[in-house]
Amino acid sequence: MDVNRVYQGDSLKLLDRIEDSSIELVICDGPFGVTNNDWDRVGSIQEFNLDLIRRFADKLKDGGTLYLFGKPDCIDFIDYRPYLTLRSRIVWYQPSRLAQGRISFTNNYDILCYFVKGSRATTFNLDEIRVPQLVELEHRLRCERVPSVTNGQYGKTKFNDLGKNPGDVWGDIKQLTYKSKELVSREVLNTIQKPIKLMERLIKASSNEGDLVLDPFCGVGTALVACERLERNYIGFEMNGEFISETRRRLKEVRSSRMESLF
C-alpha cells in the first residue's frame, strides 16, 4: 500500500491490505458507540475494539504503539493481553463539556488507551512532549532542599528545564469549539475533529521522522496533518468522501506552506 496517502473505503477491509509488522504507530480515533452517527453503531464497543486491537497487533512492528480513543469503559471486560500490553489509560479531561446529567455524575473525559506491542515501546520521546512544571518551579525557588519521595532524605531536587512528563491526565489540551481557528466546519465539531495539538503530542512521543503512522478512521485528517508537519509517513482510511476531500485540502495546505518557506 502506498504511503502518504488517504484511502476512501471501509477501514475494516482496507486494513487487510497493510503488510504485517510494518507500522510504528497506530492512532485509532474511530467509533465510540455512543452517538447516532451510522458509523458509530457497532454493537458492543468492547468487542469491536478487541477485534481492532488484535488486527492492529499484526500490523505493528515489535515495540510499536497503539493509541485507542474511547469512552472510559471502551476496553472493559475484554482480554487484549494476548495481543498488546496496556501501559496507560490516558484521561483526556474536558472541563468545558456540558454537564447535563441529572441522575449521576456527568462524564467529562475520554480515554486514550496507550498500548505497546511487547513489553515496552521502542520509541518514547519524552523530551519532545514535556510540559511546564509551574508549581514545582515555584517550590524550587522557595526552598532548595526538599525531602526525597523515595527515602525521605533531604537533598537538592533535580528539575528538568525542558519541563515534566505530561502524566496520564491531560487537561491542558482543549476540545475544539465553534470559535477554534482550526475547525474545518461546524459539522465536524465534537464527535469528529480533534485538536492538532493532541495528535502532535501522540506522534511526537511515539514515532520518529520517517516512521510509518496509520490512522484507520482519519475523519478530516488531523493526525495526518500532524504527520505531514512532523515529517512522518502516514496512511489514512476514511469512508466519508467529504472528509477525504477536507483531509486532502488540509494536507495540501501544509505542503504548500512548507514549499513557500523554502523560497
Contact set with ligand SAM (CB under 6 A) = 10-12, 29-31, 39, 191-194, 217-223, 237-240, 243
For ligand SAM, the nearest residue by Cβ is 219
Which C-beta is closer to ligand SAM: that of 37 or that of 148? 37
| CA distances in angstroms from 100 to 72, 226, 235, listed in the order given | 18, 33, 38
Which C-beta is closer to ligand SAM: that of 68 or that of 121? 68
Kindly state the smallest distance separating residue 13's Cβ from ligand SAM, in Å: 8
The span from the CA of 118 to the CA of 81, in Å, is 10
Q: Per the structure block, which three cell numbers stand in for 39?
A: 458509523
9: Cβ–Cβ under 8 A, 6 or more apart, which residues? 237, 239
The span from the CA of 110 to the CA of 241, in Å, is 27
Amino acid in position 258: R
Which C-beta is closer to ligand SAM: that of 84 or that of 225? 225
Which C-beta is closer to ligand SAM: that of 64 or that of 195? 195
127: Cβ–Cβ under 8 A, 6 or more apart, which residues? 162
Kindly state the smallest distance separating residue 32's Cβ from ligand SAM, in Å: 7
Kindly state the smallest distance separating residue 147's Cβ from ligand SAM, in Å: 44
Kindly state the smallest distance separating residue 50's Cβ from ligand SAM, in Å: 16
